[in-house]
């Protein structure tokens, strides 16, 4: 099994023999075309209730088409805190989220493939240094059981950080 796939399986809480990740990993792609620049990195909070950035902000143009990153079922399309959001539930139990959106092209329950149009990017995402950004998120579970991941793990493009098994890094 390829090292990137093993890292992805470990981070997503799967045992290598219980997940169909090698086939599934190839099924994911960037949600914008061409490949976007990352304007703001993923930053997981130390505790789930603390502040963090639970996704990545991708530079975009207002009105640019947003595509499903992988195959699945549209889980949610609607307004959350004044922002249009869409999410796709993938067969492996992962959920990708996309915001802020305009002109949704899908409805809850629709089946999508990687590359299926979901909506258009709306301008005005807080913290975005350019006219428009797509906030792309990835999680497993919901509510208090939600675990957030850098969505670039799906496409083999996330930075990898290795930490010692014992906890704290050695003093230098």
Q: How many residues does the chain have?
A: 172
Whether residue 37 is predicted with pLDDT greater than 50 in this model: the reply is yes
Catalogue the E-assigned strands of the chain. Answer: 38-40, 56-60, 65-67, 72-80, 83-89, 94-99, 101-102, 111-112, 117-121, 132-140, 147-149
How many domains is the chain partitioned into structurally? 1
**H helix intervals, the chain:** 3-11, 21-25
Has residue 172 been placed in a domain? no
Q: Supply the pLDDT for residue 51.
A: 65
- Give the CATH number, domain containing residue 61: 2.70.70.10
Task: Give me the percent of the chain exceeding a pLDDT of 90.
Answer: 56
Has residue 170 been placed in a domain? no
Has residue 132 been placed in a domain? yes
What pTM, to 2 d.p., does this model score? Answer: 0.77
Has residue 161 been placed in a domain? no
Q: Per-residue confidence at 116, pLDDT binned at 50, 70, 90?
A: very high
Has residue 164 been placed in a domain? no
Has residue 72 been placed in a domain? yes
Has residue 171 been placed in a domain? no
Q: Supply the pLDDT for residue 130.
A: 86
Has residue 162 been placed in a domain? no
Q: Supply the pLDDT for residue 127.
A: 80
pLDDT tens digits, 59-110: 999 999 999 999 999 999 999 999 999 999 999 999 999 999 999 999 999 9
Q: Per-residue confidence at 48, pLDDT binned at 50, 70, 90?
A: low
Structural domain boundaries, residue 82: 3-155
Q: Supply the pLDDT for residue 138.
A: 95
């Amino acid at each position: 099994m390829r090292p990137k796939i093993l890292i992805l399986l470990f981070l997503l809480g799967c045992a290598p023999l219980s997940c169909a990740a090698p086939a599934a990993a190839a099924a994911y792609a960037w949600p914008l075309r061409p490949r976007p620049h990352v304007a703001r990195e993923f930053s997981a909070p130390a505790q789930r209730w603390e502040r963090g950035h639970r996704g990545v902000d991708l530079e975009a143009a207002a009105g640019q088409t947003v595509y499903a990153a992988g195959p699945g079922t549209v889980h949610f399309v609607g307004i959350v805190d004044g922002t249009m959001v869409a999410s796709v539930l993938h067969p492996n139990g992962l959920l990708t989220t996309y915001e802020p959106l305009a002109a949704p092209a899908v409805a809850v329950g629709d089946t999508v493939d990687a590359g299926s149009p979901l909506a258009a990017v709306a301008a005005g995402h807080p913290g975005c240094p350019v006219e428009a950004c797509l906030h792309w998120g990835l999680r497993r579970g919901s509510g208090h059981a939600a675990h957030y991941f850098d969505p670039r793990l799906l496409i083999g493009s996330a930075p990898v950080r290795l930490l010692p098994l014992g906890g704290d890094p050695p003093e230098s």
